[in-house]
Amino acid sequence: MQALLDVVLPVFLVIGYGYLSRWRGWISDEAVETLMKFAQNFAVPTLLFAGIARMDLGENFHIPLLLTFYLGAFAGGAFAFCGARYLFKRSLMDSVAIGFIGLFSNSLLLGIPITERAYGVDALSWNFAIVSIHAPVMYAIGITAMEVAKARGQTLSALKLGKQVGTAIVRNPLIIGLGAGWIVNVLNISLPSTLWDAIGFMNRAAIPVALFGLGGVLVRYRPEGDMRMIAWAIAASLLIHPLVTYGLAHFVFDLDIAPLRSATLTAAMAPGVNAYLFANMYGSAKRVAASSVLIGTAIAVLTIWCWLAVLG
């Protein structure tokens, strides 16, 4: 119970405050959109830049850590896709969009603040290792699968497909922040303390603004129909992904407690807003994605509490 009060609820109270503020009309939809643009396009990229630039690659960029998380993510994505396609008989494009829900956990806006509150700032280095390739890998898989689904029965140019995937990835501000951090880290570039201080100011704004904005955004995603499909997608995200990740980390790769906690807790996060944005981008399974993000985020209050008890 103490973990729920001290770690989980403060994060979700900020989300709830954003939700209440938008729902009651205390803040406009346009203002929420502006907050999210500031967080996702400016503040969060600087947070990722600082985390990657200062990460000890030799210690934290640990292949078994990445395998446990990403194999769990692929299992969640496959579970969601196969259920949508073969159990619920959804179209191929809908099934890809629903698979993306199980694939893409909210590793950034939920995973980082909850891990920090649970285990301290030092634990975040493992999270940053996971996040450093999260968006590029997941978007590359999702966009490629969706473009292939769109082109089914047509002649698809591999060059055109590669260009579409590459353009979507490299224009993402989060990817730009991650890439800049990798450059500074790998090339051992020394930046002036004044610049680091400025980046620190931005970083302190990133998470609270993003959480508040996330709450405001969730007001748009009212649950509508398809409840069995939504429940299946949420199960892929909140059960399959963390269970597979924990099983691999604990029983197969025998990870130390710090990376095991970061991998499992990150895997246990609700589907990210990116799941809806991806579905909306292709006009496929938007209702399922939107409702999965909203309901999954609410249910995650309890499931994360359970995982914190397991992880100690």
The predicted model gives 268-273 an average pLDDT of: 88
Contact 102, 240 (CB under 8 A): yes
Segment 74-95, tens digit of pLDDT? 999 999 999 999 999 999 999 9
Q: State residue 269's pLDDT score.
A: 94
Domain 2-311: which CATH number of 1.10.10.410, 1.20.1530.20, 3.40.50.300, 3.30.70.260:
1.20.1530.20
Q: Which of 33-47, 63-77, 139-153, 288-302 has the lowest mean pLDDT?
A: 139-153
151 φ, ψ (degrees, to nearest 5): -90, 10
- Of 49, 18, 303, 305, the C-alpha closest to 176 is 49
Residue 294 pLDDT > 80: yes
Segment 37-58, tens digit of pLDDT? 888 789 888 988 888 888 777 7
Q: State residue 157's pLDDT score.
A: 62
The predicted model gives 283-290 an average pLDDT of: 85
Domain extent listing, the chain: 2-311
Cα separation of 213 and 18, whole Å? 6
The predicted model gives 148-153 an average pLDDT of: 70
pTM for the whole thing?
0.80
Contact 155, 172 (CB under 8 A): no
Contact 76, 269 (CB under 8 A): no
**Average per-residue pLDDT for the chain:** 86
Q: State residue 5's pLDDT score.
A: 60
The predicted model gives 280-293 an average pLDDT of: 83
Residue 296 pLDDT > 80: yes
Q: State residue 4's pLDDT score.
A: 60
Q: State residue 30's pLDDT score.
A: 92
- Of 195, 188, 206, the C-alpha closest to 41 is 206
Q: State residue 274's pLDDT score.
A: 77
Q: State residue 307's pLDDT score.
A: 94
Residue 145 pLDDT > 80: yes
Q: State residue 217's pLDDT score.
A: 81
Segment 168-223, tens digit of pLDDT? 667 778 778 888 988 998 898 999 999 999 999 998 888 888 888 888 888 877 66
User: DSSP string covering 23-42, please?
Assistant: HTTSS-HHHHHHHHHHIIII
Q: State residue 3's pLDDT score.
A: 55
